[in-house]
Structure 1
């Protein structure tokens, strides 16, 4: 255990760490069932265009035009959006822990995540992430998405930190690996208890 940690900043993913994944495969499968969509065609259309939406190059309406409303539907656009928004839930233990660590150790907090603008802003504001996060380096804002290493380079520049001053908390091993290749300290999030224990080993016990 380090006596004096050089860490000044935490980079955090949102989906799978602070909140549920939201508009993930399970949510889309449920949407296909709820709205009587062809599940194979729906998923194919999603995969063909979602990266572009997450990079901030499409609005949510344009994304939905391509995957759902390319033909007449018996439900409204707003009904479908409301369903998408409803798929998010918070992980209160994780949020509380990160807030406590920030307060106790005076760390900077930055979000580094992939998400389309409307979903991203809804999740940030609805669950109050903007009340304790200092920087949002979201794919829809910076037009790079993980696993592109440039999103991490931008995050380092915005936070004005060196890679070895950062711990990146993420639930996807590939993205942790990309960050580590830049010299960022990676922490693969698997559970609240495991992440709390790892942070304590880095010098941030609660």
Structure 2
């Protein structure tokens, strides 16, 4: 176990703080709702997603390549609103990280793969700008996990030694990549197990400490 004091949390958004913004489940729901050919839509998405999440095309450009190649009986704005509505908060996790930041004086750094418009919506709608000190988002920095340069950039910008960081992600591959930089890691699967793992690093909230007595 790392003996150094933890001073920062590096966090993914989708699957940790919020639901995934635009994953295969959301795309299937959209295909069903708008009566689209899901297979065709998926093929177009996978061709386009890297460019989209790197911020090289706008949301409207993405939709014109994936959904509106043919004429549709609904508008782009209708589809955007459906996309945005798929995001919900993991409020226990949001409250936990906010409490740890305040009580433990932690630096919070978001390291995520998200398209610009969806990311900006989620930051504003769920108050992530009040939680995080900075956003190393793929569409902002033009780097995308699993490109390890995004972790290097996060370390450079945060100016926190790797051994003083816990990186939390629901994707095991990205957890392993962060470990290669010497970061402590938590593979997030649910709120309770992550709370327990954080406590093993000495990160407990005041309420949690009282409950343990």
TM-score (norm 1): 0.97
Instruction: Report what 2:57 is aligned to.
Output: 58
Deviation at 1:71, TM superposition (A): 1.6
Deviation at 1:171, TM superposition (A): 0.5
In 2, the alpha carbon distance for the partners of 1:171 and 1:26 equals 16
In 1, the alpha carbon distance for the partners of 2:111 and 2:14 equals 10
Matched residue SS, 2:178: helix
- Mapping of 1:41-190 within 5 angstroms? 41-190=40-189
Matched residue SS, 1:65: helix
In 2, the alpha carbon distance for the partners of 1:135 and 1:10 equals 11
In 2, the alpha carbon distance for the partners of 1:133 and 1:121 equals 13
In 1, the alpha carbon distance for the partners of 2:4 and 2:121 equals 34
Q: Is 1:19 matched up with 2:29?
A: no
Deviation at 1:19, TM superposition (A): 0.3
In 1, the alpha carbon distance for the partners of 2:62 and 2:95 equals 34
Deviation at 1:5, TM superposition (A): 4.2
Structure 1 residue ranges, 4+ long, deviating more than 6 angstroms after superposition: none
Please give the per-residue CA displacement for 1:62-83, whole angstroms capped at 9, x wherever unaligned.
1111001112110000000000
Q: Is 1:29 matched up with 2:6?
A: no
Which sections of structure 2, spanning at least 5 residues, go unmatched?
A: 206-213
Q: Is the 8 A contact 1:5 1:202 kept in 2?
A: no
Q: Is the 8 A contact 2:4 2:163 kept in 1?
A: no
In 2, the alpha carbon distance for the partners of 1:131 and 1:162 equals 23
Please give the per-residue CA displacement for 1:3-46, whole angstroms capped at 9, x wherever unaligned.
x7421110000000000012110110011111111111000000
TM-score (norm 2): 0.94
Q: Is the 8 A contact 2:172 2:187 kept in 1?
A: yes
Q: Number of residue pairs matched? A: 205
Q: Give the aligned CA root-mean-square deviation in angstroms.
A: 1.1
In 1, the alpha carbon distance for the partners of 2:75 and 2:136 equals 32
Matched residue SS, 1:47: helix
Instruction: Report what 2:208 is aligned to.
Output: none
Instruction: Report what 2:209 is aligned to.
Output: none
Q: Is the 8 A contact 1:32 1:38 kept in 2?
A: yes
